[in-house]
Structure 1
Amino acid sequence: MPITAGTPLAADTPLFIVLNTGSGRHRGNEVEDSIRRVLDKAGRRYELFKVGSGSDLENAARQALQRARSEGGAVIAAGGDGTLNAVSNVVLGADVPFGILPQGTFNYFGRTYGISQDTETATRSLLDSVVEPVQVGQLNGHVFLVNASLGLYPDLLEDREAYKQRYGRSRWVALWSALVTLMRAHRQLNLQLDNGEQTRHLRTQTIVVGNNELQLEHIGIHEQTRLQQGQLVAMTARPLGTLALYGLVLRGLLSRMGEDEHVISFGFKHLRVNLSHRRRRVKVAMDGEIRWMQSPLEFRVAEQPLPLLVPRDDSLRERA
């Protein structure tokens, strides 16, 4: 039976939780202990599928989905952005409720829907939650919840992760790594963008496709209505030197990126991106995770929404 908006999660629904013990802010058994404490006290049936690395996430998510389907349960992802992405890729289209216990640095996806980054609070919210269908994007058939990109932006994310491994996870570390990365020379891309109605040629260092109102608001790209209309938002810029790139980052920190004369943004439901050079494989980032894909790149709004579990009581939703 298809899941509809506002469907409450029954009190006896078992929870099958994919827990990435190596992600985000996970410290020792702290996250696991918090989950067990809340669910044991509530008498809720659950099972943890613990993984220590991202390479094991898809298999664990498929096991959790199989159990949820056979026992009328829900699949829950506990971890950083990459964990939420990997599990949602498996759950999308399966007509199984999907919940999150976010552990990421910025947590744009969870904050957008009022889901706390505090594990105990988020776990308690699952016990009295309802389904909210949410839009997700796809790049060559792979889900992204917040954004997907190519060019300079994946380089920034790779360097940011290296800095976090060395200096710890914080927004200041993320900012410092970005400033260092932008000092290097970056290859410009010659792209052909086709949305089915119009073809445009663009020379740029990066293109980012967004699916999150909160992130757009925070950097100052005023295209939120596009998302509300069932579209994705493409963000790019004309080629920039190092100082101009620093200025762009500063505008983003001040929530004024959209005011930069070099920035281009537009909404779409489907966008085909062709690279003019002969390389068939291109490095992309989806929700902070790096992978290589074959070009051309096909960005689109997923046909089915993700049945996300959110707090039933609106007053319990945390405000971003």
Structure 2
Amino acid sequence: MVLNRRSGARPAHEAADLIERLTREAGRACRVHAVRRGAHVPAVARAAVEEARRLGGILVAAGGDGTLNAVAQEAYRESLPFAALPQGTFNYFGREHRLSLELEQALASLLKARPRAVQVGEVNGRLFLVNASVGLYPRVLEEREAATREHGRHRWVALWSGIRTVLRERRRLALRVELDGEPRLLEAATIFVGNNRLQLDRLGVAQAEALDHGQLVALWVRPLDPVSTLGLLWKGATGQLEQARAVESFGFRELEVESLSGATRPRWLKVAIDGEVLWLRTPLRFRPAPRPLWLMAEPPGA
């Protein structure tokens, strides 16, 4: 198990002790790798996956969506079963798959869990469990992380920092987009690709049902002035995003995005993947991953 010390309501040493005690009482072996910084999670997960393969075990992530993503990457690469103990701020992945947000209850469910195939998204070979995006949204996430380091990880901090970023942001993207083989040129404030029915439903995106048919869902947001963008955020917060004229949504199986800004190619774009921001080389190719992630989840009615 890879445990992010910065996630969850209880101190990390208490969480680790509780996990080890409850698994031991259930007759299971569990090795907890506690990580102090999110940037260290991928390296620790790579070491943990080797241990899990050698012992015939599973790989477990305890933390927010970013931690879950980093650990799931390694489990997926090695075709190992993956389990999640959601401990983050929004926990869209955990809530989508009905994983308890209470540590004791989540552990009790995990001890009865069986592997279940779930769809994950992919952009240039990187998995995403919940969403991936370019444009304004990655910058909102960067500002949010800076704000939470100063003021703590609270939802009101995330909201306040998001509004501040929207009011200051003026940049827009000139893009070439190819949707299932059809090219298109457009300007966008952001392109958001979702793989989480709960999140899309809460935003009010009618195309969310495309996820049930092996597709991903994209939102293209046209450039707006700051005041109009605040109105757009309000529509998203109240589940009315589909009604906004500045937003277009569609389901897809293949989406390619390339920046047309600047004189040099290929370019790199900032991409937010499950709340973590990184640079990827264009063109960006979004698609459902070619095989499922095997998620450990309690069978219905258990």
TM-score (norm. length: structure 1):
0.90
How far is the alpha carbon of 1:26 from its aligned partner?
A: 5.4
Task: Answer yes or no: is the 8 Å Cα contact 1:18–1:60 preserved in 2.
Answer: yes
- Unaligned 5+ segments in structure 2 are none
State the AA in 2 paired with 1:179: I
What is the 5 A alignment of 1:70-219? Answer: 70-219=54-203
Residue type at the aligned position of 2:147: Y
- Matches for 1:205-244 after TM superposition, within 5 Å: 205-244=189-228
Between the aligned partners of 2:279 and 2:105, the Cα distance in structure 1 is 36
Deviation digits for residues 161-198 of structure 1 (CA, Å, limit 9, x no counterpart): 11112222222221111111111132111111113431
SS of residue matched to 1:77: strand
1:18 aligns with 2:2: yes
Counterpart code for 1:238: R
Q: Which residue of 1 aligns with 2:282?
A: 295
Whole-angstrom distance in 2 between the partners of 1:177 and 1:26? 25
Distance 1:34 1:250 in 2: 40
**2:20–2:31: 8 Å Cα contact kept in structure 1?**
no
Residues in 1 aligned to 2:107 and 2:14: alpha-carbon distance in whole angstroms: 13
Q: Measure, in 2, the Cα distance between the counterparts of 1:104 and 1:250.
A: 23
Out of 33, 41, 47, the residue aligned to residue 17 of structure 2 is 33
Query: SS at 1:177's partner residue?
Result: helix
Q: Distance in 1 between matches of 2:93 and 2:24?
A: 27
Of 168-177 and 232-241, more deviation after overlay is shown by 168-177
Pairwise CA distance, 1:53: 1.4
Q: Secondary structure at the match of 2:230?
A: helix
The answer to whether the 8 Å contact 2:173/2:190 transfers is yes
Match of 2:298 in 1: 311
Aligned length: 299
Q: 1:68 aligns with which of 47, 52, 61?
A: 52
Distance across 1 between alignment mates of 2:79 and 2:276 = 25
Instruction: Give, as a single letter, the amino acid of the residue that structure 2 aligns with 1:39.
Output: T
Question: Secondary structure in 1 aligned to 2:48?
Answer: helix
- Residue 180 of structure 2 contacts residue 252 of structure 2 at CA under 8 Å; is this kept in 1? no
Change in Cα spacing, 1:269 to 1:237, as seen in structure 2 (3 Å) is: same
* Partner Cα separation in structure 1 for residue 30 and residue 12 of structure 2: 21
SS of match in other structure, 2:270 = strand
Question: 1:256-295 residue pairs with structure 2 within 5 A?
Answer: 256-278=240-262, 280-295=267-282
Q: CA RMSD in A?
A: 1.5
Q: State the distance in 2 between where 1:281 and 1:128 align.
A: 44
SS of the equivalent of 1:183 reads helix
* CA positional deviation for 1:93: 4.2
SS at 1:180's partner residue?
helix
Change (3 A) 1:20 1:93: same
Moved more, 243-252 or 275-284: 275-284
Larger CA deviation: 56-65 vs 117-126: 56-65
Counterpart secondary structure, 1:46: coil
Q: Tell me by how many angstroms 1:224 deviates.
A: 1.9
Q: Secondary structure at the match of 1:36?
A: helix
Change (3 A) 1:213 1:110: same
- Within 2, Cα distance between the matches of 1:282 and 1:119? 37
Question: Which ranges of 4 or more aligned residues in structure 1 deviate by more than 4 Å?
Answer: none
Q: CA deviation at 1:24?
A: 5.2
CA contact (8 A) 1:191 1:276 kept: yes
